[in-house]
Amino acid sequence: MSQGLPAAGSVPPRSVGAPGNQSQPQSPEDDDRKVRRREKNRVAAQRSRKKQTQKADKLHEEYECLEQENAVLRREIGKLTEELKHLSEALKEHEKMCPLLLCPMNFVPVLRPDPVAGCLPR
């Protein structure tokens, strides 16, 4: 076995000069640069988190507005459905006694104005 090489299956020792671990001490300028970079990054991260929070708040407000609008529209659908039901019943009752619909002459194809208009009050 040769001396300088690790044995098979063993883990070689980590290099002291690996990225992130500098073997020489940093100068004060390097330390200042590092502090400024970290501060700049911290401020950017705060700005990003604030922007994300504002976006989430805006989406939540939009959601609440849409929920309210949806509720209003559902109530309107309910009212219109009831009105349709009422008018359909009224029309059925009217058809039972409408003189224009009961008159046999109305079934003869003759050109004349709208027969429903004759039923309406003047």
Q: What is the pLDDT of residues 15-66, one digit of tens each?
A: 444 455 555 678 888 999 999 999 999 999 999 999 999 999 999 999 999 9
pLDDT over 90 for what percent of the chain?
Answer: 52
The residue-averaged pLDDT of 64-85 equals 98
pLDDT at 98: 86
Per-residue model confidence (pLDDT) at position 18: 47
Take residue 79 and report the two structure tokens written for it. 């009212």
Rg (CA), the chain: 43
102 and 117 Cβ atoms separated by less than 8 Å = no
pLDDT at 54: 98
Determine the pLDDT at residue 113. 60
Rounded CA separation 89/121 (Å): 20
The better pLDDT of the pair 116, 51 is held by: 51
Name the residue ranges covered by the structural domains of the chain: 35-102
Read off the pLDDT of each residue in 87-109 and give the average, rounded to a whole number.
81
